[in-house]
Amino acid sequence: MTRRILLVLVLTLAALVPAGTASAATDDKPAVLLGWTQPNAASTNAWNAARLNRTPWQSYNFDWSTDYCSASPDKPLGFDFTLSCWHHDFGYRNYKAIGAFPANKGRIDDTFYADLKRKCATYSSIVRPACYSLAWTYYEAVHNFGSLSAVKQADLNRASALMQQT
C-alpha cells in the first residue's frame, strides 16, 4: 500500500513539474513561429501581443531585432509600414535560425503582404489605392529579393547588367 501511494505521488509530481522549460521551448518553437506567421489578423495580433510582452517567450530565444523595411522607406508617402516590416523580419530571422527558412519564405512573404494590406485599409478611401500599390511593390521586392540566398546568381548578374546600361 505504501509503495503504491509513493508511486502515485512520484507520477503526480512528474506530471506537474515540467521536464525542462528550455527543451520544451526548443521543441515548440517551430509551432509558435507557424502560429505567428500566418497571413491573417489573428496571427499578426498574437505575434504583436508577444512582441509587446516578451517575458513569457524568453526561453524560446526569439530574435526580435529589426531593421524595419531595410533599405526601403519605413513610411513611404506617409504610410506607416514599420510594424509590418518588423513582423516580416521576425519571420525571416527566426526561421533562418532554426534552419527552416526556404520552406517558409513564401508564407512569411504572403503574411507581410496581408499585414501591409490590413494597414492600408486603415487609411481613407481617397489615398488607400496608393497605399495598396506601395504594398504590392514592397511585397514584390521581398518576394523576389527578400533573401539573397533565395536569389539565383544569374538573376543578380542580369540585374547588374541592366543597371550598368542605364
The answer to whether 37 touches 108, Cβ cutoff 8 Å, is yes
CA distance 132 to 117: 6
Backbone angles phi, psi at 35, to 5 degrees: -65, -30
Q: Which of 88, 92, 94, 105 is catalytic?
A: 88
The answer to whether 118 touches 41, Cβ cutoff 8 Å, is yes
> Known catalytic residue: 87?
no
Residue 113: CB atoms within 10 Å: 19
Residue 118: CB atoms within 10 Å: 15
The cell numbers describing 46, all together, are 498574437
- Which residues are annotated as catalytic? 88
